[in-house]
Structure 1
Amino acid sequence: MKITICIGSSCHLKGSRQIVEQLQYLVAENNLKDKVELSGTFCMGNCVNGVNVTVDDKLYSLSPETTKDFFEKEILPKVK
């Protein structure tokens, strides 16, 4: 599974760095380094709804506050 986080300027201002750090922690904590690939990209063209994150090309909008819930509901069920 590939998770791509926008790290463009608009998303950066909305907390993309914190989201990247949380996802790195959650992937490691759940022993999923061999199943989940994290990557960053610049502008996804959806700045109004950022922080933009894609999971296998499906677009999501996250904030640092919603990242853990997103991981538990969208990522864990797909990789376990």
Structure 2
Amino acid sequence: MQHSLSLAACTEKDTVHIREITTDKATRIRLLGMGIGKGTRLEVLRNRKGDVVLGSGNNRVSLSRSVSNGILVTPTEQAA
């Protein structure tokens, strides 16, 4: 079984699947409105000290450090 880690702990170019969102209800609803929910596949485009920039298809989203700390993800195996 693969381990879960916080989205904030991921490095640039990581591809991950969301395993669990542990934020408050209002934030979960806002994330779902942006297409970010359990099972979503995301690519970490940039991980700076202040925020995390994510890509999903042609969409780009920037999340604050506090929100990205509440999102648990599982790294996706990259094809060689």
Q: TM-score, normalised by structure 2?
A: 0.28
Q: TM-score, normalised by structure 1?
A: 0.28
The structure in which a higher percent of residues are strand is 2
